[in-house]
Structure formats: C-alpha cells, structure tokens
Amino acid sequence: MVPVWTNVTAAAQRGDVPGLEDWFWAQGAVSVTVEDGEDNPIYEPPPGEQPLWDVVLVTGLFEGELDELRSKLGSTTLI
C-alpha cells in the first residue's frame, strides 16, 4: 500500500512560530517547514543570526488522509 501524505499549513507572525512548530510536532508531524509568507526575501544574514520573516507559513507533513488527520486532531479547525 502506498502511503498518503497530507500537508497542513498555517500562517503565523514571527513570534508565534516556535509554539506552532512545537504544536505540529506534538500532533505527529513527520516534518515541519517554515517559509516566507510574503515576498520579503532575506539575503545573506550576518554570522550567527537566524532571521525570520514577519509573516511566516508553517507547514506540517502528516502521514494519512485529511479525514484521518481531522479525527486525530479532534476539535482543531483545519481548512
């Protein structure tokens, strides 16, 4: 049987990203990615800095169909 994968993406502000990443991991995500939510590229940051955009898209990758994920997450709203 071929596995089915579902991406769930949430838009967030910079300060909400760590909590949202933790939430995705706690829900069983096998991968979590963070990307620019607007068109604001970050060019070469200074050494030791890990800059983050003001508006961010956080995506969790889950194994299973969306209906399975909905039942697993319970009352959480998914679009």
Model pLDDT for residues 8-50, shown as the tens digit of each residue: 899 999 999 999 999 999 989 999 999 999 998 888 888 888 7
Report how far residue 34's alpha carbon sits from residue 11's, in angstroms, rounded to the nearest whole number: 10
Measure CA of the first residue to CA of the last residue in the chain; give whole Å. Answer: 27
pLDDT of residue 79: 46
Residue with tokens 């994920």: 69
pLDDT of residue 41: 86
Beta strands (DSSP E) in 1-79 are 5-13, 31-36, 55-63
Each residue's pLDDT tens digit, 44-69: 888 888 788 999 999 999 998 777 77
